[in-house]
Amino acid sequence: MSNKLSELNPAIRRKILVYGDSGTGKTVFALGFKPPLYCFDFDGKISSGAAFYTGDKERLANIDYDVFTSGTHDQPAQRFEAKLREFEKQAQEGAFPYKAVILDSFTTFNDVMMKDILLTNPAVQRTRSPTAVIPAMLDYRIQNIHVKNILNRLLALPANIIVLAHIKTEKDELTGRILNMPNAPGGLSVYLPVVFEEVYHTYVEAKGTERVYLAQTQADAQFIARSQIKGIAPVIKLNYESLNAK
């Protein structure tokens, strides 16, 4: 039997993509969601959130995280996969422990995934420099399929999902238009805004000595942005309270 749209409550869980330059408050914003929270830390910079919320001991005690940066004898991609499988099992059993799951950041996550692809697909013909192996076109195709699959699994978890990404700027050679989008390889930059219902571009405005952290929620000629939250302003303060008010 088909589902009824009247039975759907879009406010229960949000799937949010947040992208912007470093230092625009993305991590602090994500860690401000209602706990308990979990963070996949691929940037190794979750300490910025800990410093910001130093006075909120209860919040910090209800945020779990694991660091997945690459190390000499580390296997971050395998550890990530194991954690995701653990979450999927908990969700199937109706015992998922978190209200929000954060991936910080999608940009460095892709770096880790590519390193794993290079290690686990040794038969692919690649160019080798004295210091590194250069990914081949086939590697990027594998990554594209693999990362899309992971995103679908992550977005299926019964929680708010917040994915953070850095920003990249490109010039369209045909039109000369400057495009700003989430920093990801190949077609993933275009794919990301398609699968997230909320897409926010973050930036900082200086007002005298004060720095104001903002989120653009509606697209313009330069930045991709979108929100399905009724009545939300085109620009909001980058904090959970501003979002939750709607």
Domain spans in the chain, listed from the N-terminal domain onward:
15-244
The pLDDT of residue 5 is above 60? no
The pLDDT of residue 72 is above 60? no
Tell me the C-alpha distance between 28 and 241, whole Å.
Answer: 12
User: pLDDT value at position 240?
Assistant: 87
A 10 A CB-CB count for 49 gives 25
User: pLDDT value at position 10?
Assistant: 58
- pTM of the shown model: 0.91
User: Given CA atoms 185, 100, 95, 6 in this order, what sign does their dihedral have?
Assistant: negative
At 101, the pLDDT band (50, 70, 90 cuts) reads: very high
Contacts of 193 (CB under 8 A, 6+ apart): 17, 181, 182, 199, 224, 226
The CATH T-level fold of domain 15-244 is Rossmann fold (3.40.50)
